[in-house]
A and B are shown apart, each in its own frame.
Chain A
Amino acid sequence: MYVALAASIAFGCTGSIGGSDLDPSVTPAADPTNPPPPLHRLNRLEYERSLGAVLGYPVSVLERLPPDAAIDGLDNMAEALVMTPTLLDAYWRVAEVTTREAFDETPAFAQAFGTDAFVSERGYVIGDLWALFGGESVVTFSVATGGAGTLNMDLGGLITGSVDAPIVEIELDGVQIFSDAIVAMPGTPRSVSLPVDLAAGEHTILFRPTNFVNMAAGNTANNIVVGALNVRSDALVPGPGRQLLACAAPVASVECTREVLGRFLSRAFRRSDDDVLDQYAALHAQLLDEGEGWQEATRLVLRAALVSPRFLYRARRSDDVESAESLDARLIASRLSYFLWSASPSPRLLAAAESGELASAEGIERTVDWMLAEESAEGLDLGFAQQWLSTRGLALAARDAEEHPHFDTAKDAMAAESTELFRAFRSEPMPLADMLAPGFGFLNASLARHYELPMPSGDGAVMQRVPSERSGILSLGAWLVTHSDSEHSSPIMRGRWVAEQVLCDPVPPPPPGLVFDGFAIEEGLSVREQLERHRDSDVCASCHERLDILGIGFEGFDEGGRIIDVEDTRGLVPGSREPFENAAELAALLDREAFVRCVGSKLLAYALGRPLGAFDVAALDAIVAQVGPEAQFRDLAVAIAQSAPFRSPPDEPAEEESP
């Protein structure tokens, strides 16, 4: 143990550009055999997207599930995806809510408006209420489907002194629908429900006080407050999952039950199995006997399926059909689907598995190509890119509002800046290594304001030319912010990020039992001087030397990810003598093939759902050799999907000799 550890420290902190053969992110396995695909619980993203795929429409349940532990910065590693009572309880509840919402009738349109929906020159907020204060206030909304409905609100008058009760006129799309004096007090407001008939599209509600008085001297005023504003259709429409219950056979017949369940189970369990269908149909019959109605019983059976390990886990089974070359085609389909989509296989993919398409390297290449072209490939942005480029911590990041006035409004755009850059490279034929310095970026108006760059045209994250110091993954706001303190940058954290995510040359943990004397407080040291105190100890110096000088090269970005003028930004890549002063200069120093290998190693681990072992590293070498330094993302994805760790059956353990 001590020997091994000492060795890892000895080589761990003396890396070079682009990692080394002794990549410390790779656990050396005892023997380089291909291990079997592990029993793999879906992580929260995979669960949410699989649930959406099974139901046929997107669902939003991430918030209801506890977070999954990550290994090597990825949260889809089988080993870490344990099952706990807390988690199963969450699955059970999500299944209940989802199957209820799928079938319950809902209004064709229904929207509630908070105080932030009001636009006005004069109005203001009092708690949950909107005060008109003599000015016109406007609320704009749109409905996808038209029809008759009601506009509901609470109106109250704030009357001070001897003054008339305030009068409000309400117009919908320029037509007056209400005009009256409001005598009710805000605490016991007057509830108003107005019939409306809306066409699909945008609509405007206008509130106009007509006799406003506000005289401080006489202490008289007649203000109006609006609360609980909402609009909803009279008509109810079936829930979004209604088609799941559709069947050719008579409704509620045994045949209909089998049809509904058969369709649902094959999708949820990623394979068709008549025995399994028989068992779930028998459960349905039992629930009818126990007093549930047909639809309720059906919901319960769907819930049973959604908490079954057949849905929650991906598994290699002893009855899978395998060749010497390839795992069971259904298992390959499942692996491809979670790799590229973070979701369960679509009918088209399952059909490809049935047809034998996935049994050959060529068939896999064709399949990866059409899969990457589907909208579902956004699963890579949400699963892989969000983690690789560290955008998930942004939501929690807070910055001083005076120092960073546009930070809050730019946070979403900053996350999009990273994921859109990745998306461009995964979907367009460009060399992956160009991500280091592509010359373009993705900004919207909010982010441009925060970065102090010219305003882009159009809404949303727009692809545009950006200055070189703002181009490429080394200058993305998300990781620079999530690897900073709230009031200053952190060269240590940034050095660690670059070492781990771009160089694939992470530093090992400090040695056991490391206790350092807390630094004496010395005010007024420069960043470099502060960091140099790490060199006071040999133990600290061995690793911090690498992290710190790497991170200092990013001091030209402040804690909000903005470019600032700083004197000392001289960074150094560990093991190299070439200094760099900013992200663009570092990008130019990096080796393109090493970058492809680094991304490839992360993507391979992500695809396999396990940290790489010795067998996988040999495969990675072959993959990198196959795709070369100018590889596109697509080439890498194809090579990974064709690789032995991904699609070959495992090496059988050596037969034990009988005594």
Chain B
Amino acid sequence: MSRFTRRNFLRGTLGATLALPAFASMGPRASAQEASPRFLVYFLPNGRRPEHWVPTIVDGDLRFPAGSPLQRHASRCLAIDALDNIAARESPGAAHAMGTGTCMTSTRIMNDELRSPSNNISVDQLIAGTVGGGGVSSLQWAAGEPGPCDVGGSSCAYTQSISWSGVGRNLGPTIDPASAFERLFGTNVEGRTGELAEIRRRTRRSVLDFVQEDATRLRGVLSTDDQRSLEQYFESVRELERGFETDTTGCMVDGDIARALPYAERVEAFNRLIELAFRCDVTRVISFMIEFGLSSRSHDFLDAPGNHHALSHYGSTEQRNRLDIVERWQGEQLANLLDRLANTRDAMDRPLLDETAVVVVPSMGIGASHNHGRLAPLVFGGTRLFQTDGRLLHFGAGSEALLADFHVALLRAYGLDGTYGRNGAVFGDYGTSALSGVVR
């Protein structure tokens, strides 16, 4: 009964006439126990203004700054004020690249690693390797377009990826929601239905098997280093196959997503996709960037023109007011997503938000001063694992609570009890023990 996902539930209610391979698509990774809650990382660029971002406790309740749209979900929130992203602080001072690149890795970037992607595995990718359910192991999406990259010749990978599957392996996000939708919810097999679709399912598998054999033969004539590089290719083919084996036909999806949407509608489309992907159990782990790090979008549609990054270093009241508009709007998009998740039920008829841990992380604590030492992440939902009941974990100024230990707490919540870091660290280069007060 615990394996009774929404997909199978829908099949049951739609009637026995649908001849579907029950449970076949659950894949080998589905565990006998109920799957862990889904995991979403929600990234915000250019740091924040703490006075508009960080909640406090008022009369025993978690209270966001006045006017914050996140107040609607305060009772499902765990706020942390604040953590030290020591990895970013000890990496070169390309603050946006380092703040973005390390926000889920806690890995220090050495000076000579700035120009070429280095880094190390991120929290979401470790979790992706263990959670049950779902088709593809993880998805990476971003609503922004790639813009300028950070100073000192920083590799763009640091500002454009928060998910890393290993050293030098940044998982570049999909930026077109229409492509993302097509990949997950295409309703037919390459335009075919019925028997022809069955043939294509078979031959598609044959083609991918062949491609892997062909790649294996090529690997035999490559140098050792290049063989290692080609491993990424093999992993990707296997993930592609897993995606094909995932069947979303039983999950109600209405309407597709248009191409070439303007920015604000892309954000909305991704909000919808996140809900769909989790509801339909297409994956259990997503990382989403509302913009890439160092975003320089001019939010003309909010009547808040001016490069967002430049506004984050406001030099006038007018610029600061515009920054507030941009930050509030981004908060509103996040709150809209939380609304969606709260109002959707999972297969066990629970609010999807309760079964989804949403970890919100800005690139920096304070954008204006490039401060990595006062990073204030938020966790929403995922109530089985996290103390997300309107709580504030308050560490005063000068405390040494580490983002890296928060990362360890996230891993521990998902049952990852091992050591994943370098040089004796449990995670990244700095995580030693789970930050207390996070895990339920």
Contacts and interface: CB of A to CB of B under 8 A. Distances in A.
B348 interface: no
A525 B369 CA distance: 20
Contacts of B210: 279, 283, 286, 304
A516 B370 contact: yes
B209 to A, nearest CB: 9
Interface in A9-40: 24-25, 27, 36, 38-39
A315 to B, nearest CB: 6
A73 B155 CA distance: 8
B95 interface: yes
A652 B204 CA distance: 42
B306 A487 contact: yes
Given A523-B316, A530-B315, A509 B94 contact: yes
Contacts of B170: 69, 82
A515 B199 contact: no
A512 B89 contact: yes
Which of A85, A93, A508 gathers most chain B CB within 10 Å? A85
A96 B168 contact: no
A84 B112 contact: no
Nearest to A524: B316
B333 interface: no
Given A67-B175, A511-B92, A96 B190 contact: yes
B95 A510 contact: yes
Interface in B78-97: 89-95
A82 B305 contact: no
A489 to B, nearest CB: 11
B302 interface: no
Nearest to A496: B151
Nearest to A287: B203
Given A1-B111, A291-B199, A516 B369 contact: yes
A90 B214 contact: no
B12 interface: no
A506 interface: yes
A71 B115 contact: yes
Highest count of chain B CB atoms <10 Å: which of A4, A96, A486, A523: A486
Interface string A457-497: 00000000000000000000000001001110010010010
A512 B90 contact: yes
B329 to A, nearest CB: 16
- Chain B residues touching A, range: 35 or more
B419 interface: no
B41 to A, nearest CB: 16
A512 B93 contact: yes
Interface stretch (B139-147, B273-281, B338-346, B398-406): B139-147
Contact of A308 (B215, B240, B372): B215
B202 A290 contact: yes
Contacts of B14: none
Interface stretch (A218-226, A316-324, A374-382, A595-603): A316-324
Interface string B131-164: 0000010011000011111111111110011000
A89 B305 contact: no
Contact of B114 (A68, A313, A396, A509): A509
A162 interface: no
A55 B225 CA distance: 32
Contacts of B226: 38-39, 315-316
A87 B151 contact: no
A514 B232 contact: no
A513 B99 CA distance: 11
Interface residues of A, number: 93
A175 interface: no
Contacts of B207: 283, 287, 300-301, 303-304
A591 B239 CA distance: 53
A316 B89 CA distance: 40
B147 A517 contact: no
Contact of B215 (A1, A4, A24, A309): A309
B140 A86 contact: yes
B347 interface: no
Interface stretch (B17-25, B67-75, B216-224): B216-224
Of B182, B200, B203, B239, chain A has the most CB atoms within 10 Å of the CB of: B203
A623 interface: no
A500 B151 CA distance: 10
A24 B300 CA distance: 38
Nearest to B151: A509
B351 interface: no
A283 B212 CA distance: 12
B436 interface: no
Contact of B116 (A79, A304, A490, A496): A79
B369 A89 contact: no
Q: Is the interface of A mostly helix, strand, loop or mixed?
A: loop
Contacts of B150: 509
Interface in B218-261: 218, 221-223, 225-226, 229-230, 232-233, 235-237, 239-240, 243
Contacts of B111: 1, 4-5, 8
Contact of A82 (B89, B91, B169, B371): B169
A84 B116 contact: no
A367 B215 CA distance: 32
B92 A510 contact: yes
A39 B168 contact: no
B152 A79 contact: no
A506 B149 CA distance: 14
A514 B199 contact: no
A522 B320 CA distance: 12
A317 B171 CA distance: 27
Interface in A543-565: none
Contact of B300 (A77, A291, A398, A496): A398
A319 B218 contact: no
A510 B152 contact: yes
B311 to A, nearest CB: 9
A69 B153 contact: no
A308 B115 CA distance: 29
Nearest to B182: A93
Contacts of A523: 316-317
A86 B215 CA distance: 18
B174 interface: yes
B384 interface: no
Contacts of B117: 69, 79-80, 82
Nearest to B210: A283
Given A509-B154, A521-B316, A39 B229 contact: yes
A206 interface: no
A92 B149 contact: no
A310 interface: yes
Contacts of B229: 38-39
Contact of B370 (A276, A279, A515): A515
Given A64-B179, A69-B160, A79-B117, A85 B240 contact: yes
A405 interface: no
Contacts of A627: none
26 contacts: A1-B110, A38-B229, A39-B225, A39-B229, A64-B176, A66-B172, A67-B172, A69-B155, A70-B156, A80-B117, A84-B171, A89-B240, A93-B179, A287-B207, A313-B230, A318-B223, A319-B221, A398-B305, A485-B310, A486-B298, A487-B306, A509-B152, A510-B92, A514-B95, A515-B370, A611-B116
Given A292-B200, A518-B369, 19 more contacts: A1-B110, A25-B153, A38-B226, A67-B175, A68-B172, A69-B117, A72-B115, A80-B157, A84-B169, A84-B236, A86-B140, A300-B207, A318-B221, A318-B222, A393-B147, A400-B305, A485-B310, A486-B305, A509-B153
Please provide the 9 A-B residue pairs with the shortest distance between their CB atoms, ordered closest to farther.
A509-B152, A510-B93, A85-B239, A518-B368, A88-B236, A39-B226, A69-B157, A486-B298, A83-B232
Interface of A: 1, 4-5, 8, 24-25, 27, 36, 38-39, 63-64, 66-73, 75, 77, 79-80, 82-90, 92-93, 96, 100, 276, 279, 283, 286-287, 290-292, 297, 300-301, 303-304, 307-310, 312-313, 315-319, 393, 396, 398, 400, 482, 485-487, 490, 493, 496, 500, 506-519, 521-523, 525, 530, 611
